[in-house]
Amino acid sequence: MGGSVGLKGTDGDLYKKALELGADPVTPGRTVSFLSHLEHAESIEMLFAPGEMGARHVEEAEVGFAKETLVGEIGGETSAEDTKRIARRMMERGAELLIFVGGDGTARDICDAVDAELPVVAVPAGVKVYSSVFALNPRAAAEMVDAFVEGSDVTEQEVLDIDEEAFREDRLDAKHYGHLLAPQTRRFLQHGKVASSGSPSVQEAKKEIAAFLVEQMDDETLYLIGPGTTLRAVTDALDLQKTLLGVDAVHRGAVVGQDLNERAILSLFEEYEKRVIIVTPLGGNGFIFGRGNKQFTPEVIRQTGPENVRVIGTRQKLRPLDCLRVDTGDQTVDEMLAGWVTVTVGYRESRMMKVAV
C-alpha cells in the first residue's frame, strides 16, 4: 500500500508509515476481485488464514466454495513470520495450490515457506512486483486457478529479491532469490523485469527521444515524469536532476516537485490546469501503469486524461513486447487506457502499440 504515498515498498514496519501518510491498503480489494472472478469455486475446498490475512475477504466475496476451512491463528499485528507459518500449515493440511496476494517481498516469504514443493498463484498487489511468478492482474490470477483445476501442468517461475533499502535510495538492486511453481499458463503470467541496456546505441536512442520530447514541451503544461533511465534522459536534456525511481514534476523547464506521491501530485493539479504524464514501459513486461509507478493512481490518471499520457521507449525495449499493459487497480481506468497508443521511439519517430488490460 506504499505506492500511492511514494514509499518504495512497505516491508517491515514501513506499513505504519504508509498509514500515517494516508495510504489505503490495496490488498483487500485485489483479493476480493480475484475471488469474484473464479469460475470453478464450487469445486474448490478453500483453506484461508484468519481475519485480514484471508477470512474477512473470503466472507466479503461471497463466492460459494465447496468447503471453507480456517487455518492457523494470528495476533493483532501480522508479520512475514505469520505468512510463512500459515503457508506451511496449509501445505501440511494437504493444500494442492497456494494463493497469495502481495508483492516481491511476499513472494520471497512464500519461497522460504514452501520453496518449489507446492504450486502457487501470485496475485499482484505490492509496490514491488517484478518477479515473473506474478499474474498480470487479479482476473488473470483467477484464470490461472481455473486452469489448475482443469488439470494444467506447472512450471518454474522466478522470484526476485529487491533490496528495499537500495530502492528507497533510488537504486534498483534486483537479484535472483529462488523459484516457485505456478500453473503453466504463460498468457496470464507477467514477464520478469529486464534491466535497461547501457550500450552506446541505446543511450543515443534515449537522447534522441528526449530531444524530440523537450522540443514539444510548452510553457503552460505541467509535465509529470515517471521513473526509469529512459525518462531520466528527458531531465538530462533539460539539465535537471531526476529521481530515478520516483515521479518528478517539471514546468517551464524547472523542477517544481520531486519524488512525488499521489497527494502531492493532486495538489499540483490545483495550480496547473494543463498536465501531461510521461511514462516508459517496464523493461521485460511492458507495463506502463501499475508496476513501479503507483504514484500514478487511478485518480491521478483520471484527472490527467488518457489523451495526455505520453509513452516513450527505445526500439530495443519494445522489440520483445507484443503489447503494452496497465494494471492500475481500477478496471474503469484500465479500460479507459486500453486501445492503441503512439510510442515515441526516436527523434520524430514513433510506432503504434496496443495497450491491453
Q: Looking at the whole model, is its pTM more than 0.85?
A: yes
Summarised one tens digit per residue, pLDDT across range 168-225 is 666 667 789 999 999 999 999 999 888 766 788 999 999 999 999 999 999 999 999 9
E strands, 261-313, are 274-279, 287-289, 309-312
pLDDT at 6: 47
**Which of 188, 218, 241 marks a domain boundary?**
188
The residues of the chain scoring below 50 in pLDDT are 1-3, 5-6, 18
* 78 touches 53 (CB < 8 A): yes
The angle, 0 to 180 degrees and rounded to 10, between the axes of the packed helices 138-149 and 27-36 is: 40
**Which of 132, 157, 188 marks a domain boundary?**
188
Grid cell 499520457 — which residue? 309
Same domain, 277 and 352: yes
Same domain, 245 and 184: no
Same domain, 209 and 323: yes
* Pairwise CA distance, residues 253 & 57, whole Å: 47
Same domain, 232 and 270: yes
Label the pairing between strands 254-257 and 248-251.
Answer: antiparallel
Same domain, 146 and 205: no
Tell me how far CA of residue 105 lies from CA of 33, 78, 155, 160, in angstroms: 21, 14, 21, 9
Report phi then psi at 207, rounded to 5. Answer: -65, -40
**Which of 168, 188, 208 marks a domain boundary?**
188
Cell of 259: 519524488
Same domain, 139 and 219: no
pLDDT at 4: 52
Cell of 112: 522460504
Grid cell 492503441 — which residue? 340
Radius of gyration of the chain (CA): 21
Q: Is the CA virtual torsion 263, 306, 221, 310 positive or negative?
A: positive
pLDDT at 25: 80
Cell of 81: 513470520
Q: Which CATH number characterizes residue 52's domain?
A: 3.40.50
Same domain, 251 and 293: yes
Which H or E run contains 223? strand 221-225
pLDDT at 174: 77
* CB contact set of 214 (below 8 Å; sequence gap of 6+): 234, 237, 238
Q: Which of 334, 337, 268 is nearest to 305 (CA)?
A: 337
Same domain, 37 and 155: yes
Same domain, 227 and 323: yes
Same domain, 140 and 103: yes
Cell of 281: 514501459
Cell of 15: 506499513
Summarised one tens digit per residue, pLDDT across range 272-317 is 999 999 999 998 899 999 999 999 999 999 999 999 999 999 999 9
Q: How many residues does the chain have?
A: 357
* Pairwise CA distance, residues 241 & 232, whole Å: 8
Give the other-Cβ count within 10 Å of 12's Cβ. Answer: 12
* 285 touches 192 (CB < 8 A): yes
Same domain, 124 and 261: no
* Pairwise CA distance, residues 149 & 46, whole Å: 13
Domain, as residue range, for 237: 200-356
pLDDT at 279: 98
